[in-house]
Amino acid sequence: MRGITSLGLAVLRLLAERPQHPYEMRQRMREEGLDRIIKVTHGALYHTVEALTKAEYVRGVETTKEGRRPERTVYAITDAGREVALDRLRGLLSTPAPEYPGYCAALAFMSLLPMEDAAGQLEQRCVLLEAELAASQTGYDALVKRGLPPVALVEMRYMQAHLRADLDLTRSLVDDIRAGRLRWQPVPGGTEQEVDR
């Protein structure tokens, strides 16, 4: 297993606390709000645990069966798993990595739309960002109220900062288009080309 994914890192962190089975890990991720930053599906979680087991970063320590339910294997982190998790975490914390969000690409090609259409789409984005920011704050407040320590919530603060920055930029783009500071002219053939930025 070359690189540890975010989901793999989450699994290793949870297992560093105590041995667990995947169902319990998924519940803990929900309780801690990790499912807001990491896509956690049943299949992806089991695939990740399987890959971590194959790489010898985790190992099954016990298998239980209750009634008609399928067997559940409880996993624990290995020394190699702890080491790779710490190395990966150090790299993620210390080294900025380029991200290629779709919004950045859309902004690069925004001049294909008529200005009024682009402004309308950006206004719609503002509405959705405001709702997402409000939902994130509500989730954050609920986790604080449940007593989660601040260190367990720093990723939510990071996400909220990005949402605020996205919202601020998007609002300023709408303002610039509406005020005529950001303009582009139609190009023959029905497309438009930016002339001012």
Sign of CA pseudo-dihedral 22, 23, 26, 28: negative
**Which structural domain range is residue 148 located in?**
102-194
Q: Are residues 148 and 115 in the same domain?
A: yes
Mean pLDDT, the chain, integer? 89
Q: Are residues 86 and 112 in the same domain?
A: no
Q: Are residues 71 and 147 in the same domain?
A: no
Domain membership flag for residue 1: no
Question: What is the number of domains present in the chain?
Answer: 2
Q: Are residues 138 and 107 in the same domain?
A: yes
For the stretch 42-58, pLDDT in tens is 899 999 999 999 999 99
Residue 118 pLDDT: 94
In this predicted structure, which of 14-18, 82-86, 144-148, 171-175 has the lowest mean pLDDT? Answer: 144-148
Residue 28 pLDDT: 92
* Strand, coil or helix: 87: helix
Q: Are residues 57 and 41 in the same domain?
A: yes
184 pLDDT above the threshold of 50 = yes
> Looking at residue 28, which CATH number applies to its domain?
1.10.10.10
Reported as a pLDDT band with limits 50, 70 and 90, residue 152 is confident
Distance (Å, whole) CA 14 – CA 11: 5
Among the candidates 52, 73, 94, a domain finishes at: 94
Tokens for 3, please give them: 């690189």
For the stretch 64-116, pLDDT in tens is 888 888 888 999 999 999 999 999 999 988 998 888 789 999 999 999 999 99
- Residue 156, Cβ neighbours under 10 Å: how many? 21
Alpha carbon distances (Å) from 91 to 42, 85, 98, 158: 27, 10, 13, 17
Domain membership flag for residue 136: yes
192 pLDDT above the threshold of 50 = no
185 pLDDT above the threshold of 90 = no
Could you give phi then psi for residue 100, rounded to 5 degrees? -125, 70
Average pLDDT over residues 114-134: 96
Domain membership flag for residue 57: yes
Q: Are residues 179 and 154 in the same domain?
A: yes
Could you give phi then psi for residue 57, rounded to 5 degrees? -90, -25
Q: Are residues 183 and 107 in the same domain?
A: yes
Tokens for 62, please give them: 């016990």
Domain membership flag for residue 49: yes
**Comparing C-alpha atoms, which of 124, 132, 102, 134 is closest to residue 170?**
124
Q: Are residues 111 and 182 in the same domain?
A: yes
Domain membership flag for residue 144: yes
Q: Are residues 82 and 126 in the same domain?
A: no
- Residue 25, Cβ neighbours under 10 Å: how many? 22
Residue 187 pLDDT: 52
Q: Are residues 90 and 113 in the same domain?
A: no
Q: Are residues 150 and 176 in the same domain?
A: yes
Among the candidates 52, 70, 94, a domain finishes at: 94
Q: Are residues 108 and 90 in the same domain?
A: no
